Structure 1
Amino acid sequence: MNLHFYKPNSKILEKYIEGYYFISEDKSVNPIKYRTFPNNFCILTTNQNIAVEVKNNEVTIQSSTEQNMMTCVVSRYTSPIQIHYKHPINEITIYFKPLGINHFLDDTKEVFSNNTLLDFAFFPDFNTKMLEIFSLDREKQIQELEGYLLSKLQAKDFSLIQKILADIETDAKIEDIAKKYRITRQYLNKQFKKHIGKSLSEYRKIHRFRNSLIQQKENRNFTESLCGFYDQSHFIRNFKELAQINPQLFFKNVDLDKENVWLFI
Structure 2
Amino acid sequence: MSSLITEYMPCESLRPFVELFWEGSFNANASGQISMQLIPNGCLELIIHLNDLHCNLQKDNSWSQTPDYMIIGMFTQPYEVRFENHVKVFAIRFKPEAIYNVFGVPASKLKERYEDMSMVLGSSFRDFSHRLREEKSVGGMIRNTEKYLLKCLLENKIDLNYVNSAADLIRNTKGIKIEDLPNRLYISQRQLEREFKDKVGISPKHYLRITRINEVLRMLSANRPIDLTSVAYHCGYFDQAHFIKDFKRITGIKPTIYIRERRQIIANPGLAHYSQK
TM-score interval w.r.t. the shorter chain?
0.7 to 0.9
Aligned-residue RMSD, C-alpha? 3.2
Match of 1:5 in 2: 6
Structure 2 unaligned spans of 5+: 270-277
Match of 1:18 in 2: 19
Higher mean C-alpha deviation, range 169-178 or range 87-96: 169-178
Higher mean C-alpha deviation, range 44-53 or range 207-216: 44-53
Match of 2:83 in 1: 85
Q: What TM-score, normalized to structure 1?
A: 0.79
**Which of 18, 32, 35 is matched with 1:33 structurally?**
35
Residue 37 of structure 1: how far off its partner (Å): 0.3
- Cα distance in 1 for partners of 2:91, 2:62 equals 18
Q: What TM-score, normalized to structure 2?
A: 0.76
Match of 1:71 in 2: 69
- Cα distance in 2 for partners of 1:56, 1:130 equals 26
Match of 1:133 in 2: 132
Change (3 A) 1:32 1:230: same
Change (3 A) 1:164 1:132: closer
Match of 2:258 in 1: 250
Higher helix share: 2
1:124 aligned to 2:132? no
Match of 1:43 in 2: 45
**Which of 92, 95, 98 is matched with 1:100 structurally?**
98
Of all paired residues, the percent bearing the same amino acid is 22
- Cα distance in 2 for partners of 1:161, 1:80 equals 25
The 8 Å contact of residues 192 and 199 in structure 1, kept in 2 or not, is answered as: yes
Deviations 1:79-98 (A, max 9, x none): 11111011134533211124
- Cα distance in 2 for partners of 1:168, 1:51 equals 32
Match of 2:108 in 1: 112
Higher mean C-alpha deviation, range 196-205 or range 210-219: 210-219
- Cα distance in 1 for partners of 2:100, 2:251 equals 28
- Cα distance in 2 for partners of 1:89, 1:247 equals 29
1:222 aligned to 2:228? yes
- Cα distance in 2 for partners of 1:57, 1:73 equals 18
The 8 Å contact of residues 25 and 89 in structure 2, kept in 1 or not, is answered as: yes
Residue 43 of structure 1: how far off its partner (Å): 1.3
Match of 1:198 in 2: 202
Amino acid aligned to 1:37 = I
Residue 242 of structure 1: how far off its partner (Å): 1.1
Deviations 1:157-193 (A, max 9, x none): 3243333224434434333322444433221111112
Change (3 A) 1:129 1:79: same
Match of 1:66 in 2: none
Structure 1 unaligned spans of 5+: 63-68
How many matched pairs? 251
Deviations 1:76-115 (A, max 9, x none): 211111110111345332111243322311x224x42231
